[in-house]
Structures are given as structure tokens and as C-alpha cells.
Amino acid sequence: MKLSFRWYGPKKDPIKIEYIRQIPNVASVVTQLYEYVPGEAWDLENILKMKKLIEDNGLKMEVIESVPVHEDIKLGRPTRDKYIKNYCITLENLAKAGVKVVCYNFMPAFDWVRTELYKEMEDGSFCEAYDQSIIDKLDAEAAIKKFKELPAWTLSFPDEEIAEVIDTYKNMSNETLWENIAYFINGVIPTCDEFGIKMAIHPDDPAWPIFGIPRLMINEDNIERFININSSINHGLTLCVGSLSTNLENDMVRIINRFHKRIHFTHIRNIRYDTGHSFHEIAHADANGVLDLKKIVEAYYLNGYEGYARPDHGRMIWGEEQKPNNPGYGLYDRALGLSYINGLWDAFKTNK
């Protein structure tokens, strides 16, 4: 397991890269080039500039999170071939720069959703929370306008097109969305095979349809169907245990055991369920949440996992303040989470 840490770059992230280097056993930074809009090809020159910045600080740039998929690809519009071609150019340039894995998602219209970004906990820390009853009172257009500045949200359509995009998705069947994702996968994987770079899809978060819009990456059966789209080893998963575990039916240890050969990247964190389809995020350690991270990390160890891993959303603790559009991505709690994961891994290595 190669430990890494998400960093939004020198312009978007208040955390200094020098601080990330000080976290024990962090080998690489997971980042993105935010100067590009979805559908635009990334230039090799700019990729190499980011790589040099990271390497000058003693770290590697081997995972990109993410290269956003243009909405026209998800919608299956005639313009998708142009954007798939640009995506392939980006993959080629990333591979030439030494990038090994690209994380992406295929969530229609919007990315991960939370209804509260700074929920105050009993101990004075702050976390992100999701309350289904609040979502049920919102329409998708209002939600997108409210949350579009969240980390990972990179919309490829302007505000005036939100209603049209939402309406199109509401009238789209799951099967049509499956056809669109297969078209995309089969369009980019040959480039991955040629240049030796892996695609790793992130699950939908939360792991169920919301606002009447279809979602695909929500459970074990759908993961299997997704994997079966293409036999290439470069077609794989970013297994975010926190995202998939929002769905109580998902058994993370079983999913890891079943699909470990296709897991190229993993996000490890914990959550605590509230009522119904509502939950909040919590410190990584087992005692704080409902997930048994010991068994999850052990499953990776027993399966000989050699991919990349990072701690995921953390609480805001110790007086740390974060930019409004980077909730969950403070330094301190994620560093604690990474140390916890590293400690579990070391324990399994010692007791093998």
C-alpha cells in the first residue's frame, strides 16, 4: 500500500506542501490541474510544472484526482467524441509525466453531496453531514447552485443550462447511462493500454439515486457490471470505503476481497449513521464510527494490495480553519487518519 495525501495545489489549498512532507510515510501527493475546464486537454508542459513543484518538495505525483468527465459524455450527446479525444490526449500526457492512476467519476450532473459542511460535534470539532430529509425538500437545480463550489465539483455546463441537464437525466434510464459509460470506457482504455496508465472510477456519494437522477456506482452488483465493461487491468476502481458504506448493504471487506485486482486507488475513512439515509463523517479510528477499518485494511493486506491509498474527509480540529470550498480537507485530522491507517498496516506486517 502506497500512502498519499490529497492536495489542491498552491492556489487553491491553504495547506503548504512542506507540511504534507512532514507526515510520516507519505510518499506522494494526489492532485489536479484546476486551470483546465472539463473536456479540455491538459498540456504536458503544465503537467510537468506541477510534477516539478511536488518533486522539489520530496514527494511524487503518481495519482491525479481527478480528470473530470465532460457532461456531454455522460449525456451521450454527439459532441462526446471530441471530449473523449481530449481525454485521451490528457491521459497520454499524464502517462508521459509518470502518472500511474487517474481517479474520476461518472456521477450525473453533480458530484458528492452533503447538506451540512461544518456540523459541530460534542467535542467541538466540525464535520460534514448528510440529511436525507433536507435533500427531499430541495430540487436538484437549487442544490447544484448551492453546492457547486465544493471540492471535486467541476461542472461542465453553465447555470442557465442546469434545469435542462437535470430534466434530461430525470428522463434517462439506467440502461442508457450504462451505455454512455461503456462508450466512454471503451473509448479511453486503448490509450491507457498503450501508455500504461490506469483509470479508477470513484463511487457515487451517497451511494443511492437522489433528485430522481440515476446513479450507477452504488453497490457490489453494479461494480461487477462496471468491471465487466472492459477486460483490461487498466480499467478499475477508486474504492472509497466511506462513499460506498453510506449504503448499509455494502460489505466493504467482501468487495475488497472480490475486486482487489481492479482496485488501483482507495480512500479510507469512517462514518456514523444517524437516521434513515442520513449520516455524518467522523474520525478515522474504529471506535468513532461504524466501519471496522481494521478489517478493511487487513483485507487489503491479505490480498497483497500494492496500489495507492489516502485518508479521506477529516474533521476540522485544533482551531484549524479551511477555505469555504474545501470542507473536509484540513491538515490535522487527515494526518491523524493517515497515521492510523499506517499503524494498522504495520501491525499486519509485523504479525504476518
The answer on pLDDT for 124 being more than 70 is yes
Please tell me the least confidently modeled range out of 155-159, 189-193, 307-311: 155-159
Please tell me the least confidently modeled range out of 4-13, 169-178, 271-280: 271-280
- Find all residues with CB under 8 Å of 69, minimum gap 6, and list them: 38, 83, 87, 104, 105, 106, 184
Q: Is 329 a catalytic residue?
A: yes
Distance CA 301, CA 294 (A): 10
Choose, from 70, 260, 264, 267, the residue flagged as catalytic: 267
Per-residue pLDDT band for 287 (boundaries 50, 70, 90) equals confident
Q: Is 312 a catalytic residue?
A: yes
Q: Is 260 a catalytic residue?
A: no
Choose, from 169, 313, 333, 340, the residue flagged as catalytic: 313
Q: Is 205 a catalytic residue?
A: no
Choose, from 8, 87, 130, 202, the residue flagged as catalytic: 202
Q: Report which of 104, 110, 113 is spatially closest to residue 71, judged by C-alpha positions.
A: 110
Q: Is 43 a catalytic residue?
A: no
For the stretch 8-46, pLDDT in tens is 999 889 899 999 999 999 999 999 999 999 999 999 999
Please tell me the least confidently modeled range out of 119-128, 145-154, 322-331: 145-154
The answer on pLDDT for 141 being more than 90 is no
The answer on pLDDT for 101 being more than 60 is yes
The answer on pLDDT for 138 being more than 80 is no
DSSP string, 292-345: -HHHHHHHHHHTT--SEEEE----B-TT----TT-TT--SHHHHHHHHHHHHHH
pLDDT score, position 166: 81
pLDDT score, position 209: 86
Q: Is 34 a catalytic residue?
A: no
* Full set of structural domains in the chain with CATH: 2-350 (3.20.20.150)
For the stretch 310-352, pLDDT in tens is 999 888 899 887 665 677 889 999 999 999 999 999 999 888 6
For the stretch 209-235, pLDDT in tens is 888 888 999 999 999 999 999 999 999
pLDDT score, position 167: 83
Choose, from 104, 240, 260, 264, the residue flagged as catalytic: 240
Cβ-in-10-Å burial (0-12, 13-18, 19+) of 211 comes to: buried
More confident residue, 237 or 166: 237
